[in-house]
Amino acid sequence: MTRKIKHYRPPGKKKEGNAARFVTRSQAVKQLQCNLTLFRKLCILKGIFPREPKKKVKGNHHTYYHLKDIAYLQHEPLLEKFREIRAYQKKIKKALAKKDNDQAIRLQTRQPTPSYDKVILQRYPKFVDALRDLDDCLTLVHLFAVLPAIERLKIDVECVHNCRRLSHEWQAYIVRTHKLRKVFVSVKGIYYQAEVEGQNITWLTPHAMQQVLPDDVNYNVMLTFLELYQNLLGFVNFRLYHTINVEYPPILDPQLEALAEGLYALSRYIDAHSSVPTEEPKASSSSLSQQVRAQVEGTETEESEIRLAQLQHQLPSNEPGALMHLVHDAMGEDEDEDDQATKECKKLFRNMKFFLSREVPRESLLFVIPAFGGIVSWDGDGAPFKEADQSITHQIVDRPTQGHKYLSREYVQPQWIFDCVNARIILPTEDYLVGRIPPPHLSPFVDNEAEGYVPDYAETIKRLQAAARNEVLPITGMGKEDLEDPQNMLVEGFISRTEAIEAAERKQKMEALEKQYREELKAELQGQDYSPALKKVKQSSFEEMQPREEHLPGLQQIAEDAENRDVLTMSRKKRGLYEAIKKNKERKSSRVNKLKERKKAIESQKAQKN
């Protein structure tokens, strides 16, 4: 009789379930043989996030990662590159400790640098994927573009300059293609939304003021994200610039760059290089770059003077309208190929000329006004035209201390620009004059009808939009039924007496025909032939049933009983979801009631003052 021999299996070798699929962060760091800082950087660059297993084997106080993600990082070429960089940094420190400055400088020049081209290609295989993930990228790049360079926080000058250049390149493309859709000024900053290739991209830019850097923020993590986002935005700008036939990176006017007018310089460059004639569709950006190189090599002047001369040759200085009026379509395309929103944005500020005073947010207005077809200038060096220009139609002023006033232009507050952009019409300027309290700045990202409360100024804007579209203006306190009534329309003066009589007769005929059709249809469904006698029988039976219906429960009680019965038959998960929906509705209704009460209180205070 043979005896089966059981082989010895050491404990802990075989793992199943969550123990085999997930590892803790300390186990992942030990497996990759790197420190915690490098592990965080790799996870950010490769887009690997912690996971939540159903059963936490090591306890609830650990952070878990999927084992396949860690194995994916183990064969990452960036890991080896970061190890080489760390080894070089140790050599540089050793050379500096020995006071061998020549060796330290030599090592710094040969220090390897990581390349993120393959990382971006892996994370965003299609250009649409990159556009969908551009919200946080633009917000972070615009934030670091206005931060001060602090060596203690490892925020160097080159990083700030690069972020400012990338943000101006993005804004110049949006201005050139008129893709800006919404603007909202809040306490946190200025929100923008653009539509690029069918994708809505929303980002936040800080206000133009001195930025205070708090100490409770981990700037190393932010700088790691910024390192990835700078490369991503560079690739996106490269692709977008080539769609409008502009060479990337653009060559800017050095004098305007010295005056910190990067966005204006980019607008000039794009307007000069994207207006390709239709007779030569093969003239690409490469041929333009060859022409620039030939001009630079064939002359003995400095490179900056040649660039400035080239720009001045293509955009004459005596035509200020051509400097910022970016209306020519790239590649000789016709305006008919644009969508309806782009056409509206192009024509909003057309034939308008704006001048910005010193106290207004110049960076934002220089971005918004040209994006909607306007021409803009400012008070300073390098401006396309001066304040004394008689062709200026509007001057943006934010304080009443204005010296000489021109009667040929209107002086309005900056909020008028943003409200016109969100409403897509030119609003009246009476409420936005200097010295007056402007109307409430409504957010275009809020759906008032879904929230249940529509502000008064939103109703005013709707009426102005309807008037711009040549529609019948809705009257305050009148609904759709009132507008359909010919008598009300006659009283309000929208139609004449003859038209009111004809409309009333037409309405009576339609109501009679509709009533007859419904009665015949009901009789047919019941299997009866329609006749006038049946009508009398129905009327008498209805009168007999009327007293009985008084003892029946109301419709509201029946609906509540049906609702309670449905709630009792729900599962626990669905019931909790239903209760959360009810609480959300109650919270929204209470918020709407508070707004209405506040509105009544303000109106009563105004009435008491008057």
Q: What is the predicted pLDDT for the residue at 183?
A: 95
Q: How far apart are CA 490 and CA 498, in angstroms?
A: 10
Q: Which residue has the higher pLDDT, 343 or 327?
A: 343
Q: Is the model's pLDDT at 249 over the cut of 50?
A: yes
Q: Which of 229-243, 252-266, 370-384, 385-399 shows the lowest per-residue confidence on average (mean pLDDT)?
A: 252-266
Kindly tell me if the per-residue pLDDT of 122 is higher than 80: yes
d(CA 433, CA 414): 10
pLDDT over 70 for what percent of the chain?
71
At residue 37, does pLDDT exceed 50?
yes
Q: Which whole number is the average pLDDT over 285-302?
A: 38
Query: For position 545, what pLDDT does the model report?
Result: 46
What pLDDT does residue 342 have? 87
The tokens for 176 are 């050139």
The Cβ of residue 583 has, within 10 Å, a number of other Cβ atoms equal to 10
- Between 138 and 112, the higher pLDDT residue: 138
The pLDDT of residue 301 is: 40
pLDDT at position 134, please? 94
Per DSSP bridges, beta strands 394-396 and 353-356 are parallel
Among candidate residues 180, 206, 205, the one with its CA nearest the CA of residue 193: 180
- What is the DSSP annotation of 231-260? HHHHHHHHHHHHHTT--SSPPPPHHHHHTT
* DSSP-derived 3-state class of residue 23: strand
Dihedral angle sign, alpha carbons of residues 278, 282, 288, 293: negative
Query: What angle, 0 to 180 degrees and rounded to 10, lies between the N-to-C axes of helices 157-177 and 362-371?
Result: 30
- Confidence band for 162, pLDDT divided at 50, 70 and 90: very high
Residue 230 confidence (pLDDT):
94
Determine the average pLDDT of the residues in 33-48: 91
The pLDDT-based confidence of 447 (bands split at 50, 70, 90) is confident
Query: What pairs with residue 65 in β-bridges?
Result: 23
Six token digits for residue 608: 């008491």
Listed in order, strand segments (DSSP E) in 528-579 are none
Task: Give the position of tokens 């010919």.
Answer: 486
Alpha carbon separation from 191 to 22, 207, 373, 511, 524 (Å, rounded): 40, 10, 20, 51, 60
Confidence tier at 525 by pLDDT (50, 70, 90): low
Looking up tokens 């449905």 gives: 566
pLDDT at 251 over 80: no
Write the Ramachandran bin of 305: left for phi over 0, alpha for psi from -120 to 50, otherwise beta.
Answer: alpha
User: Measured between alpha carbons, how far apart are the two ends of the chain, in Å?
Assistant: 113
What are the structure tokens assigned to 276, written together? 């390709």
Residue 182 in contact with residue 193, Cβ under 8 Å?
yes
Specify which of 102-111, 175-184, 531-540 reaches the highest per-range mean pLDDT.
175-184
Residue ranges of domains in the chain: 18-109, 119-273, 348-469, 571-609
Q: Which band of pLDDT confidence, cut at 50, 70 and 90, is reported for residue 568?
A: confident
**C-beta atoms surrounding 43 within 10 Å:** 19
Helices then strands, each counted (H, E), the chain: 27, 9
CA 435/CA 401 separation, integer angstroms:
9
Query: Range with the lowest mean pLDDT among 72-81, 87-96, 154-163, 298-307?
Result: 298-307
Residue 396's φ and ψ, nearest 5 degrees, are -90, 115
Residue 304 is predicted with a pLDDT of 39
pLDDT band per the 50, 70, 90 thresholds, residue 494: low
| pLDDT of amino acid 452 | 77
CA–CA gap between residue 300 and residue 289 (Å, rounded):
19
DSSP 117-145: HHHHHHH-SSHHHHHHT-HHHHHHHHHHT
SS3 label, residue 199: strand
At residue 303, the pLDDT reads 41
User: What homologous superfamily does CATH list for 348-469?
Assistant: BRCT domain (3.40.50.10190)
Supply the pLDDT for residue 529. 56
Per-residue pLDDT, 510: 78
